[in-house]
Amino acid sequence: MATRPIVAVIEADARDRRTLCSLLSSLNAEIQDFDSAESYLAGRDGALGCLITEVALPGMSGLDLLRLLRANGTPPPIILLGEESDVRAAVTAMREGAVDFIEKPHVDIAILRRVAYLLDHHQGLMH
């Protein structure tokens, strides 16, 4: 029996985190949510199909987490969420290996499609 891929959502704001998890719940994936990069690192369990993290987190930032995961091996596909005007963070995220940078005001069906694509692609690589 195949296990469902895991999508981890790291978002400091509880309301935004619930919204993201609700949006992603239609996917055939296990959604795990965390309020910080540190809580993700302490509580991650299983192989990730995708990681979605806010850039501006309390403590370790989403960019710092991306760098740490890359330094420790091959990270899962990572999508960073940031403010609309944060061009510097978007460019840095892409240079650091993020698969996408989505502006927070536009987190909607686009993120659902992107994660579904990444999970399908990840499943294809696993076979």
pLDDT digits (tens, 9 = 90+) for 39-72: 999 987 777 889 999 999 999 999 999 999 999 8
pLDDT band at 20 (very low <50, low <70, confident <90, very high): very high
Ordered by where they begin, the domains of the chain are 6-126 (3.40.50.2300)
pLDDT (average), residues 2-23: 90
Four-CA torsion 56, 62, 64, 69, nearest 10 degrees: 170
pLDDT at 13 over 80: yes
pLDDT band at 121 (very low <50, low <70, confident <90, very high): confident
**pLDDT (0 to 100) of residue 14:** 94
- Rounded distance between C-alpha atoms, residue 21 and residue 44, angstroms: 16
